[in-house]
Structure 1
Amino acid sequence: MTVTEVLQLVDQLVLKHTGNHLNDIQKNVVQGIWQGQTYAEIANEFGYDSENHIGNVSRELYRILSDQLGEDVNKSNFRWTIERLKDSLNSLNSSKVFCIDIKSSFNLCPLIKNNDIGSNEDDEIDFVNKSYCDLTLAPKITHFYNRTTELQTLSNWLTNQNTRLISVLGLSGIGKTTLVKQFVDLNLQQFDVVIWKSLKLSQSLDRIITEILTTVNTESIETDNKLTQLFNLLRQQKCIIVLDDVQELFTKGQFAGQYQTEYKDYKTFFTMMIEIEHQSNLILISQEQCQEMLCLDEDLYPVKCLELEGIDNIKILTNLGLNDEESWLKLIDLYEGNPIYLKDIASLIRTIFAGKVSEFLREDALLVTEEIKFRFNELFERLSPIEQQIAVEVSKSSQPVSREDLRKSLSLSSMDLINGLQSLSKRYLLKTTEGDKIGFKLSPVFREYIRTLG
């Protein structure tokens, strides 16, 4: 069983007993117990102050499960009990049980105590005809580390504040898609309709809307009125739509966030998601910002932006075949906590340095692997000529470079220079530093890549 299946099954049992779905801390506890963690480890991983609190939450869950299943459930037999329950459910297809739609791509029928079966016809819950979950193009999450705060932020924005448009932004490989998929996996029961689309594969908004309406909506599609039909769906049902790789909508060779001509209808769609009243949510995952992702007045407009930085937890290097754990944090810092960079460099360390991180660090150099270089080649091609000039110039110094120094070195107007700096910032390649003078510096790994271009 996957963690998602476990959470869904436990959630339905808790819902039947209490009338409420699992809350965030209960989800974290179930996930931790299923993975064999101690209460202290669960508290540490998810950022809770006291393992005693985790223990209290766990015992309350055991009590609820014991009551629902008519047998004693505790920490030592939790996993075995859930696995046995799932096996029992698979064999109960011909029995009369109370079926509950869990808004996923399959349905589970939580086991009811024998003396409840057939006791009351009115208790039976019908499937919701329009419930639908399409995670075909979403990645499968095998490891998830140290993003508890970000998960809680997303949960607050989506479930408590009902933020209609959320952007999750950051460098390639930083973990944007993984974070959003983990959130969706943990919160499937909160939504009637779940849609995940990758814009690397299908960029036509008309096609995406048609697919959603065809699959979810039982009414016939009016060719000239698809957006209206979509927003009717978003009003009538609680939907979450995830669009991954949104940067594919933007024009290469121009400043960040400039739509390609054939995709300007997305600009209208994003604006409508913000301005039109409905109960659904849209999450955009992108390596660069566009204007619709920004909000000057969050009190007036339901828009939020989550910008991801690297992970500083040594657990991200677990199972990568590395030694010298005492050196792992230094390696993580060197590669900005970017999981993809670290995975690539770990492969190099295993091959050339026999997995010894300390030996690699003795090189005293930030090495850029061919895989990392390939990623940056694609990114560099997306930059405008002005951004490329600025990036090359800033890369020449290990210290922050001021606007005045850049003006002296580059033949750019003040407007072009400022717009170029802003665009690099929107791509998360450039950071602003404050001191005696305001300065600018590149992401260290990107700076090293630029230097390899000669």
Structure 2
Amino acid sequence: MNDKSAFSWEQAKQVAEKVLFENFQEYLKDVEMQVLQGAWQGFTYEKMGEIYHLSVNYLRGDIGPKLWQKLSIALGEDVNKSNFKGAMERAWAKQQTRLSNPNTTVKLPTVSSVTDLSFPEGSVSLNSPFYLERDFVEELCYQTVIKPGSLIRIKAPKLMGKTSLLTRIIAYSQSHNYQTVYLNLSSVERSILTNLDKFLRWLCLMVSRQLKIENQLNNYWDTDILGSNDNCTVYFEEYLLTTINCPLVLGLDEVERIFTYIDVVEDFFGMLRSWHEKGKISPIWKQLRLVMAHSTECYIPLDMNQSPFNAGVPIELKEFEQKQVKKLADLYALNWHESQVEKLMKMVGGHPYLGQLAMYQVKANNINLEQLLQQASTESGIYNNHLRRQLEILKKNSELAEAFKRVVNSSEPVELESIQIYKLHSIGLVQRLDNMVIPRCNLYREYFRRVL
């Protein structure tokens, strides 16, 4: 029997488990194991979907590409459904050589050898290996967005990954041949947000453009009889949803932008809630799936039956745990011990952006971690620009600045007014402990204790 025929499925599975754990500190998920074994047996994604009772688009558009990308990183070569056997057999041969000759070390390639290191800013791109999935979060979102009339609410402070998750939900929807629209409400001009009719016409026009559908607002907008909400609803029901005749995923990012616009907020959110309720009974509205991302609760009182914030599936993004921070460090090929991960987390907690910025600087500029942390809260530290932006926000609200000053100067949790807690949490400066707060991390405590 030749060497090629001697390489078995069990050996291939061992290789996959080993290299994925060494590079990502994780083992194959059940569905990844099914895809890998199905590919080993030469099955198409259609056949796998039939055998495992899973969506073909889910396997082809999500699980499969992610699995081959992780194996490409772990094995140091381009891996796909067609060629993975050869790549894994070569990795198996290297492992056997290392076992038979303990003095020989085979260095598995790191992520930095197969990707360009880019400065961490904004959302994490779809093809970036530096995006870390949270336990069950992405899977729950993917399962929800394909359900008729669904609503997903993503809530987290700024720089916690809301936009990155939202773009992945949209990409997953596109893999199911859904139409998708992404709107960032932070880009809407103030003059539009102060007028409900203007804002809803803006919404309809932007959706039309992204769907590449001709603007027909003047033919559907009846200002003599219908109100703005009704006109917007009619435009979606009789024109947009009817024209595309397929599921539409509408992603609304930075929704908190409109919380302070009293003339818009109540009617707009009431309309979104009514659309969600229509999706439970109306075939045309079942096509619409709403995904909203916001950094804090809506502190404008809304009727509980007219608010989208107590409906749908809530997704709250938490900080990374230590194992996830270690995994991110490994992706940067830093070879950190647990003690180094703990030092970083002692300063910035499990904050995704702050942690990744530190790892980037250590890797890209060959900075010593201890020195970086010593200077972290100073004007010469790597967080200088981020800290100054946070300070500018506080300077615009003296009461909020005074409230946060109490927090950073106290060794115990501090009780604040609800509105102050909401605002400080949305900025990302505090953690909530029941009805009290503490600084989100020591970086903020040290810096703002000094400058406030």
Same fold (TM over 0.5): yes
Amino acid at match of 1:316: L
Counterpart mapping for 1:170-181 below 5 A: 170-181=156-167
Shift of 1:357: 2.1
Q: Which residue of 1 aligns with 2:96?
A: none
1:163-174 → structure 2 map (5 Å cutoff): 164-174=150-160
SS in 2 for 1:172: coil
Asked if the contact 1:192/1:238 (under 8 Å) is kept, the reply is yes
SS of the residue corresponding to residue 196 of structure 1 reads strand
Q: Give the corresponding residue for 2:35.
A: 57
Q: Give the number of the structure with larger relative contact order, counting CA–CA contacts within 8 Å between residues 6 or more apart.
A: 2
TM-score (norm 1): 0.59
- CA 1:159/1:356 → structure 2, altered by over 3 Å: closer, same or farther? same
1:177: Cα distance to partner? Answer: 1.0
CA distance in 2 between counterparts of 1:378 and 1:193 reads 39
- Partner-residue secondary structure (3-state), 1:207: helix
Aligned length: 334
- Aligned partners of 1:344 and 1:372 also within 8 Å: no
Mapping 1:45-444, distance limit 5 Å: 54-62=32-40, 63-65=42-44, 79=80, 81=82, 140-141=125-126, 142=128, 143-160=130-147, 162=148, 164-202=150-188, 204=192, 205=199, 206-214=201-209, 215-217=211-213, 220-221=216-217, 222-224=219-221, 225-232=231-238, 233-234=240-241, 236-249=245-258, 257-259=259-261, 261=263, 266-277=268-279, 278-279=285-286, 280-290=288-298, 302-312=311-321, 313=324, 314-318=326-330, 320=332, 322=334, 324-326=336-338, 327-346=340-359, 349=362, 354-361=366-373, 363=374, 369-377=383-391, 379-380=393-394, 385-401=398-414, 403=415, 417-425=417-425, 429-433=429-433, 439-444=436-441
Query: Using the alignment, how far apart are the partners of 1:77 and 1:170 within structure 2?
Result: 35
Give the deviation of 1:391 after TM superposition.
1.6
Asked if structure 1 preserves the Cα contact closer than 8 Å seen for 2:251 and 2:292, the reply is: yes
Cα shift readout 1:211-250 (whole Å, capped 9, x = no counterpart)? 323545468443513431213444753111112222332x
- Asked if the contact 1:376/1:446 (under 8 Å) is kept, the reply is no
Contact 2:431 2:438 in 1 (8 A): yes
1:157 Cα deviation from its structure 2 partner: 2.8
Displacement of 1:336 after TM fit?
Answer: 2.3
- d(CA) in 2 for partners of 1:299 and 1:265? 11
Shift of the 391–186 alpha-carbon distance from structure 1 to 2, 3 Å rule, reads same
417-426 vs 240-249, which deviates more? 417-426
TM-score by length of 2: 0.59
Q: How has the CA–CA distance of structure 1 residues 317 and 45 changed in structure 2, closer, same or farther, with 3 Å as cutoff?
A: closer
Instruction: Pick closer, same or farther for the CA change 1:429–1:219 going to 2, 3 Å.
Output: closer
CA shift for structure 1 position 198: 1.8
Q: What secondary structure does 2:273 align onto?
A: helix
Q: Which amino acid aligns with 1:442?
A: P
- Residue 331 of structure 1: how far off its partner (Å): 0.9
One-letter code aligned to 1:395:
V
1:392/1:301 Cα in 2 relative to 1: closer, same or farther (>3 Å)? closer
Alignment RMSD: 4.5
Give 1:318 shift. 4.5
DSSP 3-state at the match of 1:166: strand
Q: Letter of the 2:388 partner, please give it.
A: F
Tell me the equivalent position of 1:23. none
- Map Cα deviations across residues 26-77 of structure 1 (whole Å, 9 max, x no partner): xxxxxxx9xxx92456589999876787444312244223999xxxxx9999
Instruction: Say if 1:348 and 1:188 are closer, same or farther in 2 by CA, change over 3 A.
Output: closer
Distance of 1:286 and 1:301 partners within structure 2: 14
Determine what percentage of the aligned residue pairs are the same residue. 14
Deviation at 1:341, TM superposition (A): 1.3
Structure 1 residues not aligned, in runs of 5+? 1-32, 69-73, 84-136, 250-256, 407-416
Large movers: runs of 4+ above 6 Å: 43-53, 74-77, 292-301
Task: Give the distance between the partners of 2:24 and 2:356, measured in 1 at CA.
Answer: 23
SS class of match (1:79) = coil
Equivalent-residue separation in structure 2 for 1:350 and 1:77 (angstroms): 24
Greater displacement, 440-449 / 388-397: 440-449
Deviation at 1:300, TM superposition (A): 12
Unaligned ranges ≥5, structure 2: 1-11, 48-67, 72-76, 85-121, 193-198, 222-230, 280-284
Aligned to 2:171, the other structure's residue is in SS state helix
